[in-house]
Amino acid sequence: MMMKQFVNPEISYFYEMMDDYFDSPILYKMEEIDDTSIYVIQIKSMLLNEKRYIILFCRKDNFAIGSGRPMKEIGWYCLQCRTLEKESYETVPKHFFVIKREPRFSLELKLHNRNEKISIYECPKIPFLEISMLHTKNMLYEYPEEGNLLSALETYQTILHIKT
């Protein structure tokens, strides 16, 4: 099936890139909050006690809670790669993917702002993307001043936000 086309071709390309990185998962609509629909898939982890998720936030849609949709069809504005304790997502099916080491996923990130709870990065090659790294140790310098998208995604403490 073709990738759904979104208004901005650069954003469409980035959606396709993320779909490729995660091996085209099906995400499940878990809840609606105000004008937002939230889609989730659990990622299989070798660590038994660690619960990893991909969570997509998009404008509220008409799909039923519990329905599955391919990632490539969801016009998300926020993608979270997270390790969570939240029990309500444990029923979501698990997805396995192989981490990609291709250069297109190793986009350079530069620190924009930080505090003890979060480091916020910009991606010079993708100006509409903001990357937030959540601190787990409440330390100001938990993450470096420069990094790459691949390393950020692998922490499972990452929020990608499409700036519009």
Spatial separation of the C-alpha atoms in residues 90 and 139, rounded to whole Å: 29
**Nearest of 87, 74, 72, 76 to residue 2 by alpha carbon:** 72
**Nearest of 156, 158, 105, 111 to residue 132 by alpha carbon:** 158
Q: Could you give the 3-state DSSP secondary structure of residue 73?
A: helix
Verdict on whether the full-model pTM lies above 0.85: yes
Structure tokens at 30: 């878990």
Output the pLDDT for position 48.
64
Is the CB of residue 82 less than 8 Å from the CB of residue 51?
Answer: no
**38-47: burial string, b at 16+ Cβ within 10 Å, e else:** bbbbbbeeee
Spatial separation of the C-alpha atoms in residues 27 and 54, rounded to whole Å: 8
Structure tokens at 145: 């001043």
Residue 89's contacts (CB-CB under 8 Å, 6 or more residues apart) are 30, 40, 42, 51, 53
Spatial separation of the C-alpha atoms in residues 126 and 13, rounded to whole Å: 11
Output the pLDDT for position 2.
46
Structure tokens at 95: 């997805």
Output the pLDDT for position 8.
85
Output the pLDDT for position 3.
47
* Mean pLDDT per 10-residue section of the chain, whose length is 164 residues: 63 94 97 97 80 96 96 96 81 91 94 96 96 94 96 96 91
Output the pLDDT for position 40.
97
Spatial separation of the C-alpha atoms in residues 159 and 54, rounded to whole Å: 10
Q: Report pLDDT digits (tens) over 63-102.
A: 999 999 999 999 999 999 999 876 668 889 999 998 898 9
Output the pLDDT for position 138.
86
